Structure 1
Amino acid sequence: MEIAAAVVAVIGTVLGAGVVGVQQYCTARSQRREALRDRALKALCELSTALADHRRAMWVREDLRLSGAAPADVAAAREASHVTRSAVTAPQVALMALLPQVRAEVDAAVHATYEMRGASNAVVLAARQESAVDAADCLAGTAARVLSRP
């Protein structure tokens, strides 16, 4: 009888340790997934902000160029657009690394924004800006769907 009780006690201890181990594994995995989600959401927000800033800078730059503004004003706007373009790179790379499922949408949003450069007239500039906004909205929607998956 004592041997049976000892065997049951050992088996219970082993099973208990196994359950605790599985719980710890699941908790750690959930925490890693949540941390990844948080970093991806932060990168998405940063990229969305950087793209909006760059679209605004490109609008000003191209509008000045198309309207025949003073060369100094166009040069200042060009310099400002270089700063906003540089701000796109880090969150772009981070988001593509964290959420490779949205790589195509990231590329489309970034390239659509860059395409605002060199518009032939104000109508083309407005159309390119609208395309850039649509691409950024598509990126946000797709990323939101990916991030909301369990």
Structure 2
Amino acid sequence: MEIAAAVVAVIGTVVGAGVVGVQQYYAARSQRRQALRDRALTALTELSTALADHRRAMWVREDLRLSGAAAADVAAAREASHVTRSAVTGPQIALVALLPQVRIDVEAAVRAVYEMRGAVSAEVLVFMREQAVSAADALIGSTGRVLSRP
């Protein structure tokens, strides 16, 4: 009887250690997944903000140019758009590095804002802005879908 009790105790200890090990593995995996999710959401938020800022700067810049504003005003708007454009790169790289599955949507959203440059008319500028907004919305949607997968 004592041997059976000892065997049961040893088996119980081994099984208990195995269960604890599996629990720790899944807990660590869940923490890594949550950390990735948090970093990706931060990158998405930063990119979305940078795209909105650049879209606004491009609107002002191109609207001034198309309306025949003073060269100094157009030059100042161009400089402002350069600042907002450079703010796009960091979060763009971060989001693609964290979630390569959304690379195409990231590139489409960035390209749509950049393409506002050189609009040939006010109507085209309005259309391009709407396209840029739609591309940014699509990026948010696709990133949300990727992050909601189990």
TM-score of the two chains, using structure 1 as the length reference: 0.98
Distance 1:117 1:149 in 2: 36
**Partner secondary structure for residue 41 of structure 1:** helix
Distance apart, 1:38 and its partner CA: 0.7
Distance 2:2 2:134 in 1: 74
Is residue 30 from structure 1 mapped to residue 30 from structure 2 by the alignment? Answer: yes
Is residue 138 from structure 1 mapped to residue 144 from structure 2 by the alignment? Answer: no
Structure 1: 4+ residue segments shifted above 4 A? none
Identity %: 81
| Aligned match of 2:126 | 126
Residues 84-142 of structure 1 deviation map (CA, whole Å, 9 limit, x = unaligned): 00110011011101111111000000000000001111111111111111100111111
Structure 1: gaps (5+ residues): none
2:142 partner amino acid: T
Distance 1:107 1:79 in 2: 23
Question: What pairs up with 1:64-79 in 2 under 5 angstroms?
Answer: 64-79=64-79
2:111 partner amino acid: H
| Aligned match of 2:115 | 115
Distance apart, 1:145 and its partner CA: 1.1
**Partner secondary structure for residue 45 of structure 1:** helix
Distance 2:149 2:39 in 1: 15
Distance apart, 1:5 and its partner CA: 1.3
Distance 2:89 2:21 in 1: 41
**Partner secondary structure for residue 119 of structure 2:** coil
Structure 2: gaps (5+ residues): none
Aligned residues: CA RMSD: 0.7
TM-score of the two chains, using structure 2 as the length reference: 0.98
Give the number of aligned pairs: 150
